[in-house]
Amino acid sequence: MRNKKQDLIDQKLQGLNDDGIDRRGFLKCMAWAGTGLVWTMSGGIPMSRVFAKGHDQMAAKAGDFAFVQISDSHIGFNKPANPDVTATLQTAINRINAMSHPPDFIIHTGDLSQLSKPSEFDTLDQALKGASAKQIYFVPGEHDMLSDNGEQYLQRYGKGTKGTGWSSFDHKGVHFVGLVNVANLKAGGMGSLGNEQLEWLEDDLKGRSASTPIVLYAHIPLWTIYPDWGWGTDDSEQALSYVKRFGSVTVLNGHIHQIMQKIEGKVSFHTAMSTAFPQPAPGTAPSAGPLKVPADQLQRVLGITDVNYLVNGRSLAVVDSPLADSKSSASWKGGHGNVNSLFG
């Protein structure tokens, strides 16, 4: 099975290499390994890394660290395909706590709640208290700003942030920037960052060494996936122009409740699964509403994203893990879809 996957990846990589895009010094290697697609940045040489079960035993060098991205918990949602989103969030937290390389922190990329209700935020807080990683960074999703222009979200999760909740921090040599693209949305448009935030971002990145690995995270994808469903950010080009000079940029988003990946120049884009419910692939349904899947399949389409920073080569490896262990052929089907959605 692995050979078949590897063949497909090699084939797709070949396709990538033929498209004429300069790929020096950025994500080059991908290996599909059971539960995750592994990206490893190298100095221009394709390099395979098999994670699978073994990835927990990765040799740790001083400065290496891991963090976890979770997204779209939608606490308060109670309809098909998931009447108990608190339970699946709990399963996600249990998975995080069971990692043999504990994450230094967690990033939640928004849609904490379904309706911005205080009781929903309370339930989320209660669940997250059980996470082994105590430091959690948040950006809001549109569901977290449904009333009061996000005042309550900001009070609870936006301490020390600017504007509608954007902020940046450094961790072991990597610069992280959390952006908000769900506030003040305009009729007919997609996600929006706005001028004030863009100016702040430009200023925030100014003066940083080009060799500093950058991680941008935001709720709605910062690349255009499917405009008809609003799956993109109108002014993301502007934001991305500020990170062009950096050697390694990783963009982590949520919102679309499925894994999508793209590499453009030195920037790798990645969207995470939801912990609550899946959404259809772009254009495969009348709307982006929740995708109803059989109960026994649900935990295969929900999950967490584990990001490992390797100080050697300044690489970030992104591994998606579904909540349910995927031992059957179903996981391969999922993998096939992911690889295709990445390069297809």
Binding of residue 228 to another protein (CB under 8 A): yes
In whole angstroms, the minimum distance from the beta carbon of 83 to another protein comes to 12
Binding piece for another protein, criterion CB under 8 A, among 24-32, 41-49, 111-119, 151-159 = 111-119
- DSSP 8-state secondary structure symbol assigned to residue 75: B
Binding piece for another protein, criterion CB under 8 A, among 173-181, 285-293, 320-328, 334-342 = 285-293
Q: How far is residue 22's CA from residue 265's CA, in Å, rounded to a whole number?
A: 6
Binding piece for another protein, criterion CB under 8 A, among 184-192, 199-207, 210-218, 325-333 = 184-192
Q: How far is residue 94's CA from residue 269's CA, in Å, rounded to a whole number?
A: 26
User: How would you label 314-342 residue by residue, b for 16+ Cβ within 10 Å and e otherwise?
Assistant: bbbbbbbbbbbebeeeebbebbeebbebb
The correct pick among 29, 288, 304, 310 for binding another protein (CB under 8 A) is: 288
Binding of residue 284 to another protein (CB under 8 A): no
Binding of residue 119 to another protein (CB under 8 A): no
The correct pick among 195, 289, 295, 313 for binding another protein (CB under 8 A) is: 289
Please say which residue, 44 or 189, places its beta carbon nearer to another protein.
189
The string of DSSP codes covering 213-225 is -EEEEESS-SS-S
SS3 state at 341: helix
The correct pick among 11, 94, 147, 328 for binding another protein (CB under 8 A) is: 147
Please say which residue, 65 or 77, places its beta carbon nearer to another protein.
77
Return all residues near 186 (Cβ < 8 A) that are at least 6 apart: 192, 234
Interactions with another protein, residue window 45-104 (CB under 8 A): 79-80
Nearest to 326 by CA among 310, 316, 337: 337
The correct pick among 40, 86, 88, 114 for binding another protein (CB under 8 A) is: 114
Q: In this structure, what are the phi and psi dihedrals at residue 211, rounded to the nearest 5 degrees? A: -90, -5
Nearest to 313 by CA among 247, 253, 254: 247
Binding of residue 185 to another protein (CB under 8 A): yes
Binding of residue 143 to another protein (CB under 8 A): yes
Residue ranges that bind another protein, judged by CB under 8 A: 79-80, 114-116, 142-143, 146-147, 185-190, 227-230, 286-290
